[in-house]
Every structure is written in C-alpha cells, then in structure tokens.
Copies of this chain bind each other. A is one copy, B any other.
Amino acid sequence: MANSRFGYVRDFEEYEKLVPYSFTVVRIDGQSFHRFSDIHQFEKPNDKRALECMNSAAKFVLEEIQDVILAFGESDEFSFLLRPQTTLYDRRKAKILTKVVSAFTSAFVYNWGRYFSTPLAYPPGFDGRTVTYPHPKHVRDYFAWRQVDTHINNLYNTTFWAIVQQGGKTEREAHKILQGTVSAEKHDILFKEYGINYNTLDDLYKKGSILVRIPPPMPEIPADGSYKDKKKIEKIRKDGIDGTRGPIEILHLDIIKDTFWNDRPWLLSQLD
C-alpha cells in the first residue's frame, strides 16, 4: 500500500489474535434461510440437495485451510475446528474468521448448480463467529452439543411434516399436536400413525455431517531418495498424523461417544 500523509489511518487497525494453543471453532449460520428455503422450494423435512451443497462448501473450506481438521454440519450451519497449533495468518482472529466465511459462501454459490436444477434466486449469505476452547473436553462437548441439536430438531421436523404432509393437518395444527411431547411420543406418532420407523431414516438427517481427513500411511524414506524428498518425508514422519493431510471423508455417525475420538486421537492433540 502506497504511503502518503494519510497513511497514519492504518495505526487504527487492530490485530487481535486467537489465544495460542487453544482450540478455535468457527461456526457459520445461514442468514434468513427460512425465506431462502421457501423461495428455492426446499423439500421438507430435509432437502438432500441443500445438505449436499452445504457439505461441498465445507469440503472446500478444508481443502483451502489445512489447519481446519474437523467440521460438523446440519441444516444451514457448519462448525469448523482449527488445530490449536495453527500459525495461519499469525493467528489473527478477523483474517481467519473471514477466510472461512468467505470460502464457504463462495463455494456454496459456486457449487449450487451441481445440486439444484433451478438457479439461485439471489446471493445467499452466512454469518460467522469464533469461539475459543482451552481444553479438549470442551471441544468434544461443543460437537456433542451440535449433534444433540441435530437430533432434536430432526425428530421434531420429521414428525411435524409427517403430520402435515401425510396427515393432512395444517402447520398450526401440527405444532399444537407436538406441543409438550417428549422424544418417545414423537417416535410413537411417526410409527403408529404414519408407519415411519425413525431409526431407519438416513443418518445424513439424524446425525448431521462430519468432515475429517483420512491420514495417509507414513511414507518410507527411500534408501536412494533425493535429498529434497528425504527432507520432506522426514518432516512428515516427524509431524506424525496431525489431521492436516490425506483425503477428506464425509461421515454421518455418532460424534458424542468415545469411539469417534478414540479412532482419531490427533484431533484433540493440543501441544507441539
């Protein structure tokens, strides 16, 4: 940027940083997505095309930012976990936050046509926030919190739309029927009145979507490897599995119990 007598205005810029070695979650939410889903005639209770478009945008975020090692999405929201060790943008909060939000938004609009035959009616928006967690327990509880939310919302919505679509009730009537019901009662309504066994529904809807990398096998150092290759391979071996390398997979499974985390211990590794 060119210098001039006005250049002093740069001194007003802040460089707030993420607390070193803490876990950072960036959560993004669709703005006015109730209206957005009406205009684009999303299927109820879940629109597979929309969820897959969301997942494709999240995948782009992981492709763009190596240090995002985990993502979880449901409905019109997505959460991204940054490694505590990241030095991305010198840990500047605003840069990291806007990088994630912009990449997600850009990919969502860019990929839309892959999932929908009707064009976008207008440019959709997402907002975002960062949250700092000092301890692995908080990270697990954060993702558990989102998956419990997925479950509760999906059970409600599935029952609600069965009552409306199959039961021929109005939305107002459906709300009234569901008021005060607990989970077991919703399962009952679904099964007895509409023949739907909730447990057999697609895990994409019941569990949400998890994005994580499959770590590549540790490379061997070839006896006759070039010096450069050897250096690079040694570095990879030294770093070990840190979640930043390997193909990205999209899973729909339980993130609350221990199994998911025990299978991927690097996700909660906090120190160098």
Query: CB within 8 Å of B: which residues of A?
Result: 1-2, 4, 6-14, 16-17, 19-23, 28, 31, 60, 64, 84, 94-95, 97-99, 101-103, 105-111, 120, 122-135, 137-138, 141-142, 144-145, 148-149, 152-153, 270-271
Partner of A123, one of B11, B21, B106, B152: B106
Query: From residue A159, how far is it (CB to closest CB) to chain B in Å?
Result: 15
Out of B19, B101, B144, name the residue touching A134 (CB < 8 Å).
Answer: B19
Q: Kindly state the separation between the CA atoms of A135 and B9 in the bound complex, as whole angstroms.
A: 11
Residue of A97, A99, A127, A130 with most chain B CB atoms under a 10 A cut-off: A127
CB atoms of B21 and A22 under 8 A apart: no
In the complex the two chains form, is A134's CB within 8 Å of B31's CB?
A: no
Q: Do the beta carbons of A127 and B98 come within 8 Å of each other?
A: yes
**A94→B29 CA distance, assembly (Å):** 12
Given known A-B contacts A106-B124, A130-B94, A141-B6, A149 and B1 have beta carbons under 8 A apart: yes
Contact B142 A6, beta carbon cutoff 8 Å: yes
Task: Find chain B residues with CB under 8 A from A109 CB.
Answer: 105-106, 109-110, 123
Whether A8 and B141, one on each chain, are in contact in the complex, defined by CB atoms closer than 8 angstroms, is: yes
Give the number of copies in the complex.
4
User: Within the assembled complex, what's the spacing in Å between the Cα atoms of A109 and B103?
Assistant: 11
Is the Cβ of A103 less than 8 Å from the Cβ of B132?
no
Residue of B nearest to A256 (CB): B6
A31: chain B residues within 8 A (beta carbon): 99, 102
B4, B123, B131: the one within 8 Å of A13 (CB)? B131
Judging by beta carbons under 8 Å apart, are B17 and A17 in contact? no
Chain B residues whose C-beta falls within 8 Å of the C-beta of A84 in the assembled complex: 134
Residue among B6, B13, B23, B126 making CB contact with A98, cutoff 8 Å: B126
A102 to B107, CA, bound (A): 11
B9 touches A145 (CB 8 A): yes
User: In whole Å, how far is A255's beta carbon from the nearest beta carbon of chain B?
Assistant: 11
Q: Once the chains are docked, how many angstroms separate the CA of A109 from the CA of B109?
A: 7
A23 and B19 alpha carbons, distance in the complex (Å) = 12
- How far is A208 from B252 in the complex, measured between Cα atoms in Å? 48
Bound Cα distance from A120 to B130, whole angstroms: 29
Asked if A98 contacts B101 (CB within 8 A), the reply is yes
Chain B residues closer than 8 Å to A129, beta-carbon distance: 13, 94-95, 98
Can you list 10 pairs linking A and B with CB atoms under 8 Å apart?
A2-B149, A12-B19, A14-B132, A94-B129, A94-B130, A106-B124, A109-B110, A110-B123, A134-B135, A135-B271
